[in-house]
Amino acid sequence: MSKNAPTRLAFGKIKDTVRYRLKFAHFPYLARSLENERARRSEGMAILDVGCGPGNIAGFCDLPGDVKWFGLDLWEYQLVQAAEKRVYAGLFQVNLVDGLPFKDSSFDAVLCNEVLMYLPNAAELLGQFHQVLKANGVLFVYNPITWLPKVLAGARRRLRSLHQERRSVSWDRQTDWKNATRACRITYYSLRSLVEEVRSARFEIIDVTGFRIFRNRIRAMTRLEDYRWYYAITKSLVSRFPQLAADIMVVGRKAGPDPTKRDVLGGRSAV
Ligand SMILES: C[S@@+](CC[C@H](N)C(=O)[O-])C[C@H]1O[C@@H](n2cnc3c(N)ncnc32)[C@H](O)[C@@H]1O
């Protein structure tokens, strides 16, 4: 069975692999979408994996050799693990709070997988993703959503003012981020506010899809994810009704001439 084959509805337990865990259901989605993006282009493509962590997505996708992966992350230990995947053409230690250090129109795709929630400057960064993308470039933002973003953000702020874990970065205090080892969630979105945030950065929204109903903090729920029927029912429900989802993928495209469209003389339109 190929890596990205759809999961069939069955009642047996499934293997604990990235391929079948609901937690990673967006990985095959990304792999397929990036393959399609590659097929739209005549000369390879460059992908920026923002907050790449240990490089799980790049390691999972099996894209042709003319696809170049670039990753950035806040911490060196994450970049060391990403380098071990041997798929990145370049890895950079960058604090996204200071913005992106790349020239305009450098990438064909930008992935921002479970990163936006850690950033106080999310709106500004989405604008920078737009700038570093080439015309027709595509942005994938995967992020948790909630029905009560403002309430949760307020509660989190209050909690942090009472107690701040020493190992975790907090942007509203003077923290030495190099000595911290994890980021702290500060930005909360609803389905609508996340889509609107991406749209306000001048992206045309081309897809919004959900993957999970629960972000499994509860052990019993994590166990349930081991069952194919649960995977299949959840995935089909939330892909149709993303408002039920606990996390969504928003896909936006930067406007530009469509390279697949032929002009009146039969040639490809210039990008
Ligand atoms: C939940 S992990 C996701 C990792 C990866 N995208 C994946 O899907 O496996 C969040 C990542 O964002 C990175 N991150 C958080 N705040 C950051 C910042 N200010 N600048 C750069 N990276 C940051 C963390 O180091 C971590 O690797």
Structural domain includes residue 140 = yes
Which atom of ligand 1 is nearest to 78's Cα? 27
Domains in the chain, number: 1
Distance (Å) from CA 47 to ligand 1 centroid: 16
Residue nearest to atom 11 of ligand 1 (CA): 51
pTM of the model: 0.85
Distances from the Cα of 214 to the Cα of 12, 54, 106, angstroms: 21, 24, 36
The CATH number assigned to the domain holding 114 equals 3.40.50.150
Q: Are 130 and 201 in contact (CB under 8 A)?
A: yes
Q: Which residues in the chain show pLDDT less than 70?
A: 1-20, 164-168, 170-176, 216-219, 257-271
Structural domain includes residue 110 = yes
Output the ligand 1 site: residues, CB below 6 A: 51-53, 56-57, 73-75, 78, 94-97, 113-115, 118-119, 183
Distance (Å) from CA 73 to ligand 1 centroid: 6
Q: Are 63 and 93 in contact (CB under 8 A)?
A: no
- Please state, in angstroms and rounded to a whole number, the distance separating the CA atoms of residues 191 and 143: 10
Structural domain includes residue 267 = no
Residue with tokens 């029912």: 233
Distance (Å) from CA 214 to ligand 1 centroid: 21
Which atom of ligand 1 is nearest to 177's Cα? 19
Structural domain includes residue 14 = no
Question: Rounded to the nearest 5 degrees, what angle is found at the Cα of 70, between the Cα atoms of 66 and 76?
Answer: 145
Structural domain includes residue 6 = no
- Please state, in angstroms and rounded to a whole number, the distance separating the CA atoms of residues 76 and 71: 12
Both tokens of residue 77? 């230990």
Tens of pLDDT, residue by residue over 110-152, are 999 999 999 989 999 999 999 999 999 999 999 999 888 888 8
Structural domain includes residue 79 = yes
Structural domain includes residue 63 = yes
Structural domain includes residue 161 = no
Q: Are 254 and 133 in contact (CB under 8 A)?
A: yes
**Enclosing domain of residue 207:** 22-145+189-254
Residue nearest to atom 25 of ligand 1 (CA): 74
Which DSSP string do the residues of 156-216 spell out, in sequence order? HHHHHHH---TTEE-TTS---GGG--EE-------HHHHHHHHHHTTEEEEEEEEEESS--
Q: Name the CA radius of gyration of the chain, rounded.
A: 19
